[in-house]
């Protein structure tokens, strides 16, 4: 891949988005070649995540809370049956509270422990993964990072992905999390999704536009005969 031409194309694509501001989807600086697709987050998860974020902000303990909730997320990934146990209707509210106490009391801060108890009391432990994901998004926003989805015809190497992320970040004035997906039908170039904006700079799209323009020109010429 010709780095110079490719990066110039990216700069041209993202230059109009320098004032992206609040429309950006933020995230902490985690530049990498590829990232897992983000999970869908429902409104309920966002409400609880916002509440936890505000608690951390008020107590100046956001980074500590982030480490704790992500350790819990890792625990759920390693032991998926744990979440099944916590949300099953086969045990009542009191028994569920006892399970949470046995597992988490003394192993996390009082804030996180009480938060888990609130989720349990309100029957929302099934949303715990979504709450953690939404909390991480709020943390990302707090740290001023933008997540960018990039679709490319051929997979970028780690160094190429880092350069693309830096180039986009320089134009947006933000740190960038780059997630790439390979779509051979693009032929060349790339598509970018930044926040709620989609920028299509793929060769396939340019060819389709050219075809439509030629068709329109031919039709107009036929009409004038």
Dump pLDDT digits (tens) for 82-118.
Answer: 888 888 888 888 888 898 999 899 999 999 999 999 9
One domain, residues 149 and 100 = no
Alpha-carbon distances of 91 from 27, 106, 161, 163, rounded to whole Å: 37, 23, 48, 52
Domain-embedded: residue 53: yes
Which residues lie below 8 Å from residue 72, measured CB to CB, with a gap of 6+? 104, 108, 112, 116, 128, 132
CATH of the domain at 47: 1.10.520.20
Looking at per-residue confidence, does 154 or 69 come out higher? 69
Residue 51 clears pLDDT 70, i.e. is over it: yes
Tell me the CA end-to-end span of the chain in Å, nearest whole number.
46
pLDDT value at residue 54: 95
Number of folded domains that form the chain: 2
Mean pLDDT of 59-76: 93
Q: Check pLDDT > 80 for residue 70.
A: yes
pLDDT tens across 22-42, in order? 333 333 333 333 344 556 788
Q: How far is CA 59 from CA 56, 65, 168, in A?
A: 5, 10, 34
Strand-pairing partners, residue 192, are 150, 199
Q: Which residues pair with 197 in a beta bridge?
A: 194
Q: Per-residue pLDDT for 195 more than 60?
A: yes
Q: Are residues 164 and 120 in the same domain?
A: no
CA distance 146 to 194: 7
pLDDT at 7: 60
- Please give the share of the chain, as a percent, with pLDDT higher than 90: 27
Query: Residue 123 belongs to what H/E stretch?
Result: none
- Is 65 part of a structural domain of the chain? yes
The reported pLDDT for the residue numbered 140 is 86
Distances (CA, A) of 40 to 50, 129, 133: 16, 10, 9
Last residue within a domain, chosen from 111, 140, 169: 140
For residue 173, pLDDT over 60 is answered with yes
**Would you say residue 186 lies in a domain?**
yes
Measure the CA–CA gap between 124 and 126, rounded to whole angstroms. Answer: 5
Range of the domain at 133: 43-140
How high does pLDDT run on average in the chain?
A: 77
Same domain, 216 and 129: no
The mean pLDDT value for 59-63 works out to: 93
To the nearest 10°, report the CA torsion of 58, 20, 168, 139: 20
pTM for the full predicted model: 0.61
Q: Looking at the structure, do residues 168 and 197 belong to the same domain, yes or no? A: yes
In a domain? residue 38: no
- The verdict on 72 and 99 lying in the same domain is yes
Asked if residue 111 belongs to a domain, the reply is: yes
Residue 13 burial (C-beta neighbours within 10 Å; 0-12, 13-18, 19+): buried
Query: The domain that contains 12 carries what CATH number?
Result: 3.30.2320
Please check the confidence at residue 47 and state whether its pLDDT lies above 60: yes
């Amino acid at each position: 891949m010709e780095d110079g031409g490719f990066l110039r194309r990216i700069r041209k694509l993202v230059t109009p988005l320098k004032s992206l501001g609040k429309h950006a989807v933020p995230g902490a600086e985690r530049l990498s070649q590829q990232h897992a697709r983000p999970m869908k987050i429902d409104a309920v998860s966002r409400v609880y995540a916002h509440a936890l974020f505000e608690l951390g902000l008020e107590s100046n303990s956001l980074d500590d809370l982030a480490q704790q909730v992500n350790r819990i997320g890792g625990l759920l990934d390693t032991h998926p049956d744990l979440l099944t146990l916590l949300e099953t209707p086969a045990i009542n509210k009191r028994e569920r509270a006892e399970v949470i106490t046995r597992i988490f009391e003394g192993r996390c801060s009082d804030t996180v422990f009480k938060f888990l108890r609130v989720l349990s009391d309100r029957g929302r432990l099934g949303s715990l993964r979504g709450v953690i994901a939404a909390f991480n998004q709020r943390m990302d926003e707090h740290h001023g990072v933008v997540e960018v989805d990039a679709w490319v015809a051929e997979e970028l190497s780690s160094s190429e992905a880092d350069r693309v992320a830096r180039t986009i970040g320089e134009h947006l004035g933000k740190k960038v999390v780059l997630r790439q997906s390979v779509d051979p039908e693009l032929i060349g170039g790339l598509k970018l999704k930044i926040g709620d904006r989609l920028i299509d700079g793929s060769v396939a799209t340019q060819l389709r536009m050219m075809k439509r323009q030629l068709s329109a020109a031919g039709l107009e010429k036929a009409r004038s005969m």
